[in-house]
Amino acid sequence: MRKRTAFDWACLVFIILFLCITVFPFVWIIITSFKTDADIHGAATYARKLLGYRYQILNQARENARRLGHSKGALFPWRTINGKECSYYYPSGGAQYHIIGDIAYGIIQYYLITGDWDYMAQQGEEIVMETARIWYDLGNFYQGKFHIHCVTGPDEYTCAVNNNYYTNLTAKHNLTWAKKLYEQFKQNGQLERLKAKIGITEEEIRGFAEAADAMYLPYDKELDINPQDDSFLSKKRWDMASIPKDAGPLMHKNFLYHIYRFQVCKQADTVLAHFLFEDEQALSTIRNSFDYYEKITTHDSSLSRCVFSIIAAKLGDKEKAYQYFDFSSKIDINNSQKNTKDGIHTANMGGTYMAIVYGFLGLRVKEKGFFLNPLLPDEWKGICLDICLKGSRITLAVDKNICKITLKNQKPLDLYVCGKAYHLQDEITVNMNE
C-alpha cells in the first residue's frame, strides 16, 4: 500500500471538516494539514470510511426512532458510543433532532466535493431518505406552512422550542435533497434497488417536496432578523453586563430552566444557519441577525466563536473576524474555557481551521459550483494551502491583493472567485482590488 503523504492529509482535513457537521458538536476528526504533492485517493477513502460509520449504526438509529414514536425512518443518537443513545438529559440531548439534518448535510457536502456517486448509491441515499422520513413525521402542516415543534437547536441555553430556525433549515435541506437524489436514482435506473431496500414510495417523495417547499422559517420584518424560534423574541434579555468576566459557563451557576426563560445563547445557532445556508436569506438579514445575536451570546461553547468569525468575514469585518479567530485558536494555549486540564478542545481545532477556509478564504461548496471570496486579515501576509475539488488538485495562494489558483493535476475545474466565473486549466490570478 502506498504510504500516505502530507498532501493526503491536507485534502483529508478539507473533506473531513465538511463532514464535521455530520456529528456537530460531539465528534470531530482533526488532522494537521501540510502542503506538498500527492494523490487524493487515500484521503477520499478515509473520508468515506468516516461516513460509513453512520451507515454501520443505521439500524440502531431506526430502533431509536421507534422508541421515540416514529413508525418510519432513522433518528441518530445525540451522544453515542455503540450506536445507542447515551444522552441522559433529553432537552439538550435527544431533543436536538437537527443531528439527522447535520448528518444529511455532511453526506451531501461529501458528494458535492468528491462526486462519489458510488457511495451515494450504496449508503448515502439510504441515510438521506431515512432521515427525511423523520422530518416528515415530526412536523405538520398548519395554515399552509410546515412546522416542527418541541426540538432543540445548537444553542443549549434554549431548549424544547417550536420552529427553531436552524433545525427547520436542516430539515428543508434534507427533504429537498431526498427528492433530488430520488430523481437521480430514477434517471440512473437504480430506483428499484432503493425501493427494495427501504420501501420508499412516490407518495412519500411528494410529501417531502411539499414539506420542504412549505417549511416555516421564522422571520421578524421589523428587525429584519431570523428569530431563533417562535418564542425567542418574547423572552426577557439576560443582563450580559452582570456576568463576571471569569465566571465560567452560565450553566454552572444557574438552574438550566431559569436560563431557558431568557434571551441568551450558549453558542451560534441562527448565525450557524446563516453560514451553512447563506442563500436562504438576504445579506441584510444575515448582517442584522449577526449583530443581534452577538450581543446575547456567551460563547460558553468552544464551538461558537469560530462560526462568528466565519460570518464576520462574510460581512467584510476583518477586524472582528480575526478577533474571534484569534480567541478560538488559543483556547487551550490560554486555557480560556478554564477546563483544558480535562482535555484539549479538538472540535474547536476543527472550527479554527474552518474559520480559515470558510472565513478568510471564503470557500463555499454548493450544488451549482465552488465559490471563493477571500478576505485576508491585516495581521497576515498571506494564506497558502492545497485542496481537492471533484478530483482537481489545486493550490490556493492569497495575499493582500492577489488570489492565485494553480491546478496541480490534469483535471480542469470551473469555479467562482469574487463573484466571477473562471475555468481553471493551468493557473488563474485574480486581482481582488478590482
What integer pLDDT is reported at residue 16 of this predicted model?
A: 52
State whether residue 359 is helix, strand or coil. Answer: helix
> DSSP 3-state assignment of 198?
helix
8's grid cell? 493526503
- 244 alpha-carbon distance from chain centroid: 31
Model confidence pLDDT, tens digit, residues 227-273: 999 999 999 999 999 998 877 899 989 999 999 999 999 999 999 99
> Residue 170 — φ and ψ, nearest 5°?
-65, -35
- Based on its alpha-carbon atoms, the radius of gyration of the chain, rounded to whole angstroms, reads 21
**For 107-138, how does the pLDDT look when each residue is reduced to its tens digit (9 = 90+)?**
998 999 999 999 999 999 999 999 999 999 99
Domains (range + CATH), the chain: 6-219 (1.50.10.10), 362-434 (2.60.420.10)
Q: Average pLDDT, stretch 333-337?
A: 86
Report the alpha-carbon distance of residue 175 to residue 168 in Å, rounded: 10
Q: Which three cell numbers stand for residue 110?
A: 461529501
Closest-CA residue to 109 (of 15, 196, 198, 187): 15
Annotated catalytic sites, by residue?
Answer: 156
Q: Judge contact between 132 and 138, C-beta under 8 A.
A: no
Provide the pairing of β-strand 413-417 with 420-424.
antiparallel
Average pLDDT of the residues in 340-355: 85
90 has pLDDT over 60: yes
Residue 142 grid coordinates:
398548519
Percent of the chain with pLDDT over 70: 90
Helix, strand and coil percent figures for the chain, each rounded to 5: 45, 15, 40
SS3 23: helix
* Each residue's pLDDT tens digit, 271-320: 999 999 999 999 999 999 999 999 999 999 999 999 999 999 999 999 99
Q: What's the pTM value of the predicted model, to 2 decimals?
A: 0.90
